[in-house]
Structure formats: structure tokens, C-alpha cells
């Protein structure tokens, strides 16, 4: 039974006892460098996703003119943040950058990668099957009354803590789909309101994320015209996120930043169910191999991916099994049960994990605002726990022979959301101490 397996896992992995006490920890992944599972996506799968996004660029340019500067691609700036690095005063060597998915077009969060990609892929499949599109067509024609009437016969449903619902709701509605978003109790009011304004049906649950997903899946499965975006298991979402790696490589190159044995790259990713950080890290590892080091960060009360990976039990465990509440002010990370698919894919690729107190998120939210004039949401601030606390990862650096190379390192804090946060909620976040 699970209780017995959890007890055994806690004996084997001492960090789990500290995680269960909601302490801030660093965990080094003992399976790092092993073999990928047999069902792991290949480079061709990521390339297929990249090509699909290119095909949709003419549609996105027409429907969302804010994507025009990037020619219809949804991509975010990579910005060096030396003021933040100085102010953190944490002894980190190398340069620190912010990957500003907080400012991605259309949805203002990292979910604009995976979530929008999955909606587009589903739309493409329906359009080809229904004769609305033929190979070689300009996808700009999907911005038409005919196309909207076509997609209007179909429903897309998703469970969300907020941002995934926003990305799927906005893009689904833009194509003409009926969209139903099942929102967990942690979802912010303004995210629900924004969705309703876009014509999306929002169903609220007095329960956590996993419950919202389960009910959404059940209702969708009961309707043959409905498609469910399954954040806990979706390979499609994962591949949409993985496309980020090639784009980041081009940005690093054009900024003159080398990534090789002498110049290691460190990437810090806030983690909820795992799809977004997992897909991005997966793409990065396939591109940069041993020269990139990916770390996830989760709140101390909802470290579901850490529990799943460190115990080896993946989606068979949830935070409540370890006596944790799952409650956090980082609404995007308030997930009690990890994606088993992502956990398995990350076993050989993830360097380690940090957990972080909510209070630290708000301190860094303020610090980033004061030093760089950039606002990102509390969940996104989890990324700073990595660079701030690299000293805790000394054992990893020694094991990888990285200690002498840190002066030439590049660190990227992956800012996962924030640009859509309304003014009054920003002011509240900037004034929060907890
Ligand atoms: C969704 C989200 C994450 C984490 O993504 P998962 O796929 O749930 O792991 C991190 N930050 C923000 C702001 C998010 O919305």
C-alpha cells in the first residue's frame, strides 16, 4: 500500500522528512544522467511542434496584432538583470538573466507556449478532417466567420489554477470554440473575470487543482464534441513548451553568450504540475546536453514534483500524503499531485529542486520591481530561489566538476507570468509580507 511505500521512500531519501516539515530544502536528483524512458519524445516531435506554430503564424498575426513584431510567433525577451543580481547579494558567480515569459503575447504567462499550442494543434486536426483547411493553405483564413462557425460546434475543456485556463480560453474563443475552464479554489478572481469577458464558461470548485482536472475530464469525456486538455498527462502541451529551447538558443547566440563545457548554463523554473518547466527543461537538455543544468522550484507547502521524483512514486503520491496543505500564495504552483509523465521524463534530465517559502516570493517580487522595474507574479518569483541559494547546491557543483567554471556561468530565472495582472492586484502583491 501507499503508506508503506512512502515510509520506505522516506528512509531512503532523508530530504523527504524535511520536505514534510515544510522546510526550505535543496534536493539533488540521484537519477540525473540516467537513461530516458522508451516513450520519450524525440527531436522530430519537437520540430513538428515548431513547424506547426510557424504554420499558424499568419493566423496569429491577423487575430493578435501584438504578435506582429515577432512575425506571428509568441516569444519573450531574454533580459539581463544585473541590478537584481547585485541586490540579491547572494555570492552568485556569473551573469543573471530573466526569461520574460511573464510578458508573452496573448496570455501573459508561460502557458502561452503549451496551452495555445495544444489548442492550435486540435484546431488544425479538426480543420483538416472537416475540409476547412488543405495542405499548403494560408492559415490566415482561419480568422473568418466561416471558420468560427465551424469551430463553434466543438468544445474545449481544461482544469486550471488560472493561467492555463487563460491561454486556452483566449485562444479557443479567438478561433470560435466553446471553452469551459474548470477552476480550482486557488484561482485568482481577476483571471476568472477576464475569461468570462472573453466569452468563456468558468466553473469554480471549492477544491484543489487535481479535483478540478478530474471533474473537467469527466464532463468532457461524456461529450463526443468536447476535447479535454489534460495538463497531468499531455504530450502535446509538453512539446509546445519544448519549442522554447530552440528559440532561447537563438537568443543566447545573438547576445553573444556561449553555452559549452567552459560556459555552463543554469536554468531555474517554477514548477506546478510539471508540464511547463518539464517541457522547457526537456527541450533545453536535448539541445545543450550536459552543458545545461535545470532546477525546478516549488512552494514548501506544495512541492508535488519533488515528492514524486524523490520518492520515485510520481503521480501516485500527493502533498497531503506527506502532511502538507498544498496551500500557497503562488496560485500557479498550487498543485497537489504531479504529472507522472513529466516526472518520468525528468528523471535523467533534472539536476535538482529547491523549495521556497511564500514570504521569499514576495521579497523577490518587490526586489525585482525596485531594481529592474519589472513586475512578475508571485509564482514566477519562485525562479529566484535557485540563483539566491546556489550555495546549497555545492554538492551538485562538485559532482559535476563545475566549481571552477562558475565565473563563466549564465543563470536564467524563468519568469513564468505577470503582465496581465491588474494594477490593484500588483499594488497588493508589492505590499505583501508573509
Ligand atoms: C502554470 C504555471 C507554472 C508552472 O507550470 P506547470 O506546468 O503547472 O508546472 C509556473 N508559473 C506560473 C505563473 C504558472 O502559471
**Domains of the chain with bracketed CATH:** 2-41+68-107+238-430 (3.40.50.1100), 110-233 (3.40.50.1100)
Read off the pLDDT of residues 287-337 as tens digits, 9 standing for 90 and up. Answer: 999 999 999 999 999 999 999 999 999 999 999 999 999 999 999 999 999
Name the residue with the closest Cα to ligand 1, atom 11: 416
Q: What is the pTM (predicted TM-score) of this model?
A: 0.98
Given a cut of 80, is residue 1 above it in pLDDT? Answer: no
User: Would the pLDDT of 209 be above 90?
Assistant: no
Tens digit of pLDDT for each residue in 349-359?
999 999 999 99
Identify the residue whose C-alpha is closest to ligand 1 atom 2: 332
Helices (H), 137-243: 145-151, 163-175, 189-197, 209-221, 235-242
Element (H, E) at 304: helix 304-311
* Per-residue model confidence as pLDDT tens digits over 358-413: 999 999 999 999 999 999 999 999 999 999 999 999 999 999 999 999 999 999 99
Q: What pLDDT, on the 0 to 100 scale, is given for residue 360?
A: 98
User: Which residues lie closer than 8 Å to 81 by C-beta, 6 or more apart?
Assistant: 96, 97, 98, 368, 371, 372, 374, 413
**379 close to 296: Cβ distance less than 8 angstroms:** no
Q: Which residue has the higher pLDDT, 2 or 257?
A: 257
Q: Region 32-53: what's the mean pLDDT?
A: 97
Model pLDDT for residues 137-162, shown as the tens digit of each residue: 999 999 999 999 999 999 999 999 89
Q: Does residue 207 have a pLDDT over 90?
A: no
What residues flank ligand 1, with Cβ below 6 Å?
Answer: 109-111, 163, 270-277, 332-333, 335, 377, 379-380, 416-417
Task: Kindly report the average pLDDT of the chain as a whole number.
Answer: 96
* Mutational pocket test of ligand 1: of 104, 107, 110, 114, the residue with most ligand atoms within 8 Å of the beta carbon: 110
Quote the pLDDT of residue 186.
79
- Residue of 417, 418, 419 with the most ligand 1 atoms within 8 Å of its CB, for mutation: 417
In angstroms, the CA 399 to CA 28 distance is 10
Gap from CA of 57 to ligand 1 centroid (Å): 24
∠ CA 24-28-30, nearest 5°, is 145
Amino acid at each position: 500500500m501507499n503508506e508503506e511505500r512512502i515510509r520506505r521512500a522516506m528512509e531512503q531519501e532523508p530530504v523527504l522528512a524535511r520536505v514534510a516539515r515544510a522546510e526550505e530544502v535543496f534536493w539533488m536528483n540521484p537519477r540525473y544522467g540516467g537513461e530516458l524512458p522508451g516513450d520519450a519524445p524525440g527531436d522530430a516531435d519537437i520540430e513538428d511542434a515548431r513547424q506547426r506554430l510557424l504554420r499558424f503564424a499568419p493566423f496569429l498575426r491577423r487575430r493578435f496584432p501584438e504578435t506582429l513584431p515577432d512575425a506571428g510567433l509568441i516569444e519573450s525577451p531574454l533580459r539581463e538583470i544585473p541590478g537584481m543580481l547585485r541586490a540579491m547579494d547572494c555570492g552568485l558567480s556569473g551573469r543573471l538573466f530573466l526569461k520574460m515569459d511573464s510578458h508573452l503575447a496573448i496570455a501573459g504567462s508561460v502557458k502561452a507556449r503549451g496551452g495555445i499550442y495544444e489548442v492550435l494543434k486540435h484546431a488544425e486536426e479538426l480543420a483538416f478532417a472537416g475540409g476547412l483547411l488543405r495542405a499548403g493553405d494560408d492559415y490566415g483564413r482561419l480568422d473568418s466567420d466561416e471558420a468560427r462557425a465551424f469551430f463553434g460546434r466543438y468544445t474545449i475543456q481544461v482544469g486550471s489554477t488560472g493561467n492555463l485556463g487563460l491561454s486556452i480560453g483566449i485562444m479557443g474563443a479567438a478561433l470560435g470554440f466553446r471553452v469551459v475552464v474548470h477552476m480550482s479554489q486557488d484561482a485568482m478572481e481577476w483571471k476568472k473575470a477576464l475569461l468570462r469577458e472573453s466569452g468563456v464558461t468558468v466553473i469554480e470548485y471549492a477544491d484543489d487543482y487535481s479535483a478540478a482536472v478530474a471533474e473537467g475530464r469527466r464532463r468532457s469525456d461524456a461529450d463526443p464534441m468536447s476535447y479535454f486538455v489534460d495538463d497531468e498527462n499531455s504530450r502535446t502541451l509538453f512539446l509546445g513548451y519544448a519549442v522554447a529551447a530552440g528559440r532561447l538558443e537563438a537568443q543566447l547566440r545573438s547576445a553573444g553568450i556561449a553555452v559549452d563545457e567552459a560556459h555552463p548554463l543554469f536554468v531555474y523554473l517554477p514548477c506546478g504540475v510539471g508540464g511547463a518547466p518539464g517541457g522547457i527543461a526537456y527541450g533545453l537538455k536535448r539541445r545543450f546536453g550536459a552543458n545545461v543544468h535545470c532546477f525546478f522550484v516549488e512552494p514548501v507547502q506544495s512541492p508535488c514534483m519533488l515528492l514524486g521524483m524523490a520518492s520515485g512514486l510520481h503521480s501516485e503520491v500527493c502533498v497531503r500524503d506527506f502532511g502538507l496543505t498544498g496551500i500557497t500564495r503562488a496560485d500557479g504552483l498550487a498543485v497537489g499531485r504531479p504529472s507522472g509523465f513529466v516526472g518520468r521524463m525528468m528523471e535523467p534530465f533534472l539536476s535538482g529542486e529547491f523549495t521556497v517559502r511564500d514570504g521569499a516570493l514576495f521579497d523577490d517580487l518587490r526586489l525585482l520591481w525596485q531594481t529592474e522595474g519589472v513586475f512578475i507574479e508571485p509564482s514566477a518569483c519562485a525562479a529566484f530561489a535557485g540563483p539566491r541559494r546556489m550555495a546549497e547546491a555545492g554538492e551538485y557543483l562538485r559532482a559535476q566538476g563545475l566549481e571552477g567554471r562558475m565565473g563563466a556561468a549564465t543563470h536564467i530565472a524563468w519568469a513564468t507570468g505577470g503582465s496581465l495582472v491588474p494594477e490593484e492586484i500588483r499594488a497588493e502583491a508589492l505590499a505583501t509580507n508573509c
